Amino acid sequence: MKTNTEYGLVTERREEKVIIKHLKQFLANDKRTISKIKNPSLLESKLPFKYKYFYFNLNKEMGTYIALFPNRDEDSNYKYPDNKEGFCCKVSYMKLHSRKQDLGESDMRYFKGK
């Protein structure tokens, strides 16, 4: 089972530090943290949107992925044009498989996002 949900946080851009602070507190309950990503190859994964950075947490044990990125990218393109401010938060639950298993084509859909 794979579930993707994307939330829009209606905030002002200057509230970024407060959002990250609360996310860190929330994730600390499971001894997790959130990382700020500036790696060019990971930023390319968000194309056609161009970001300077985004935040993410991957918890393989629970099969969850959280990514937080601005609604407006560096080229002033909006993921959600109806709200010119704020952030987008993508939350995914995915079934992760052991590397020791032989993965079939149907299993690979979990990794391809289809």
Which pLDDT score, from 0 to 100, does residue 92 have? 64
29-33, 38-42, 105-109: which has the minimum mean pLDDT?
Answer: 105-109
Q: Are 1 and 95 in contact (CB under 8 A)?
A: yes
Return d(Cα 59, Cα 74) in angstroms, integer.
28
Give the model's confidence band at 2: pLDDT under 50 very low, under 70 low, under 90 confident, else very high: low
Rg for the chain (alpha carbons), in Å?
Answer: 15
State mean pLDDT over 9-13. Answer: 76
Residue 114 has pLDDT above 80, yes or no: no
| pLDDT above 90 (res 52) | yes
- Which of the four pLDDT bands, split at 50, 70 and 90, describes residue 51? very high
d(CA 5, CA 3): 7
The tens digit of pLDDT for each residue in 53-111 reads 999 888 877 777 888 888 889 999 988 888 777 787 776 665 444 343 443 444 433 33
Domains of the chain, by residue range, sit at 3-112
Is the pTM here over 0.85, yes or no?
Answer: no
